[in-house]
Structure 1
Amino acid sequence: MPMDAREIETLIKEALPDADITIRDLAGDGDHFAAEVVSESFRGKSRVQQHQMIYEALKGNMGGELHALALQTSVPE
């Protein structure tokens, strides 16, 4: 069963409470999403480390219930 955007946002918010999150369903199928996540927690971290933080927040759902997630991460300006 696919994840919905609210579930993805909830999981990320649990791990990064300060995050500003925008989720888009790219294909309308509940399997392919894009997420833009802005969080102070990313400051000083490489892009790879930032993405790893998001994957950890998703608690193993990446590649299972969630087939594809295009990520864009940044720190607040």
Structure 2
Amino acid sequence: MVGPAIEALIREALPEADVIVTDLMGAGQHCGVRIVSRAFAGQSRIQQHRMIYAALGTKLIDTFDALVLQTAVPK
């Protein structure tokens, strides 16, 4: 259930974003997330990732061991 929760929190913060959550190990504790959003325009990669961590807050931090973020601006 971690994947849908991650997606919902990101979509709440960035409604226009294209979000894809992938369970990397099959147990829900290692997730990969690809987020494409116009909100990332002009932001450094660190700033983009901080935006995602701010969207997730502390709600899910204890529910997974690894979170791999891939952020991009639409072409």
Question: What does residue 51 of structure 2 align with?
Answer: 53
1:62 is displaced (CA, Å) by 5.2
Q: Compute the RMSD of aligned alpha carbons.
A: 1.2
Q: Is the 8 A contact 1:38 1:73 kept in 2?
A: yes
**In proportion to residue count, which structure has more helix?**
2
What are the superposed Cα offsets for residues 4-46 of structure 1, whole Å, 9 maximum, x if unpaired?
2111100000000110011100001111000000000000000
2:30 counterpart (32, 44, 48) = 32
Aligned twin of 1:8: 6
Distance in 1 separating the partners of 2:4 and 2:23: 11
The structure 1 segments of at least 4 consecutive aligned residues displaced by more than 6 Å after TM superposition are none
In structure 1, runs of 5+ residues without a counterpart are none
TM-score of the pair, normalised by structure 2: 0.92
Aligned-residue sequence identity (percent) comes to 49
Q: Size of the alignment, in residue pairs?
A: 75
Partner Cα separation in structure 2 for residue 64 and residue 72 of structure 1: 21
Unaligned runs of at least 5 residues, structure 2: none
